[in-house]
Amino acid sequence: MAKLRLEFEKGGAFVARLLEKEAPKTCRAIQAELPFSYRFHHSIVSGQALVTLPPDLTVERENQRVAGIPPGALSFLVRDEPVLVPDEIYIAYGIFISRGLTVDMKQPVNVFAQIEEKLDELAQVGRRVLMNGAETVRFSLVEDSAGH
């Protein structure tokens, strides 16, 4: 079972379990680019989440949801040029409903990983980004105990 490590530049490190059965294509695309860093801002319309627009990463649609996305979920909004939606990665830290400025106000996302521990600390980091501004987050693969 592959895991990601997320490290925030101003403090906070989290491990997310990749949801390889639910979103295999997205997980493969993310893993192929590791390690990487992006600058995350606070979401404007989707709730308690941090968001980045990766200029060099895209995935296919799969396992798409708008609601029922738990705190700690990592999701990918797939570019949809006809409605001016760019590629986006979200880190949910609380109530998150993927919505945007589209006609139906819905932007389904691929949920591809889940942070399962330290969710209170993740919420503190999310509030810090809300109040103090964007932070760079570094993503890397967590090596398993067998060294894979």
Confidence band of 147 (pLDDT split at 50, 70, 90): very low
CA distance 50 to 146: 32
- Strand, helix or coil for residue 57: coil
Sequence-distant (6+) residues with CB within 8 A of 22 are 63, 111, 112
For 12-53, how does the pLDDT look when each residue is reduced to its tens digit (9 = 90+)?
999 999 999 999 999 999 999 999 999 999 998 788 999 998
**Does pLDDT of 87 surpass 80?**
no
Domains and CATH numbers, the chain: 3-141 (2.40.100.20)
61 vs 85 pLDDT, higher one: 61
